[in-house]
Structure 1
């Protein structure tokens, strides 16, 4: 479980695909500082398990399902990535409950300046848009953000100047794949309503 408050922008060291699988290695001195084998770290919003680590890098095995459902397979050496360690019972929950189980990818449509803030619009599939409502949370590449607008094809978020410096989203270009996780509460509400209507 995560909060969606990014602790560090790390850097991709390598994405190594071999017959036996795919390994992603990222540099992130802060989040790796107390890492242990088996720890969970969210990379671009995807909960991954540490399979190896050094003083400032961590390596994760990527399952085929992870590669199909997320944008991690398109990462390249040197790409910036949002990093967050799993929350502790003593962690302040300044964002929202983020599982790190990405629902799918969207596409960055545009980033527009609005004063010193950025208005970011992201295209998403209808299956995911049904969970996205204005003023609710959405996890975008691991960052807990508030939805500012929704229509039939897109949703938007506003990034204040402070947030812009802490996440990778402002560095991305239109068309970039964006990992998306809808708020778990919306999914639970839908399930309960479906069961009650039976």
Structure 2
């Protein structure tokens, strides 16, 4: 699992598509200091498996992951282009600090940036919310946007707002996400478990 605390901004080197899959190569530094084949690294909030390690012609270290059809359909990763920055986070090590919230790296859906209000110290961002996810998003609850752990300010039936502090603006892709751009969303997994347990209790 992950915490939603982005470790670094990586750079897309290549996205090679095939009939029903794709292979993504990303340039990185921090997340590759101890990376091995089979490790999990989240890219914009989507958990991927390290399939290969390499180096670009310019000498930057890279890692490669395979994207199956489900990933391409449910996330924004299929639209990545070479040079695009991406949020990267290694899986949480046992005993590590849970600085954000419990993030699985399983993207629930895609939202669109509807509005940005720049402030003196932070930006308020409004993002569309797929109807089937609205019941899991509540004011002051947690949500992961492109893999970044955030606190919901306001929640509606089809949208929500978050406030981005200077650290988030400077260290993640959310600092430059423009109106109209899409982002990966992962709702709080605890809400999903509670819903399932309550439904089972009612069924009895």
Sort the TM-score into its range (normalised by shorter chain): over 0.9
Equivalent pair of 1:134/1:148 in contact (CA under 8 Å): yes
Structure 1 segment 7-156 matched on structure 2, within 5 A: 7-19=7-19, 21-54=21-54, 56-156=61-161
Classify 1:150/1:65 alpha carbon distance in 2 versus 1 (closer, same or farther; 3 Å): same
Report the CA distance between 1:19 and its aligned residue.
Answer: 4.4
State the distance in 2 between where 1:20 and 1:125 align: 25
Q: Does 1:175 align with 2:177?
A: no
User: Residues 89-109 of structure 1: CA distance to partner in whole angstroms, max 9, x if unpaired?
Assistant: 121111011000000101111
Provide structure 2 residue ranges, at least 5 long, that are not aligned to the other structure: 56-60
Which moved further from structure 2: 33-42 or 15-24? Answer: 15-24
Equivalent pair of 2:111/2:127 in contact (CA under 8 Å): yes
State the distance in 2 between where 1:105 and 1:137 align: 16
Q: TM-score, normalised by structure 1?
A: 0.97
State the distance in 1 between where 2:9 and 2:36 align: 20
Q: SS in structure 1 opposite 2:88?
A: strand
User: Residues 137-166 of structure 1: CA distance to partner in whole angstroms, max 9, x if unpaired?
Assistant: 000000100000111211010011122111
Q: SS in structure 1 opposite 2:111?
A: strand
Classify 1:33/1:118 alpha carbon distance in 2 versus 1 (closer, same or farther; 3 Å): same
Equivalent pair of 1:111/1:170 in contact (CA under 8 Å): no
State the distance in 1 between where 2:52 and 2:172 align: 25
Provide structure 1 residue ranges, at least 5 long, that are not aligned to the other structure: none
Which moved further from structure 2: 127-136 or 161-170? Answer: 161-170
Aligned-residue Cα RMSD (Å) equals 1.1
Equivalent pair of 2:125/2:164 in contact (CA under 8 Å): yes
Which runs of 4 or more aligned residues in structure 1 lie more than 3 Å from their structure 2 counterparts after TM superposition? Answer: none
Q: How many residues align?
A: 198
State the distance in 2 between where 1:21 and 1:71 align: 14
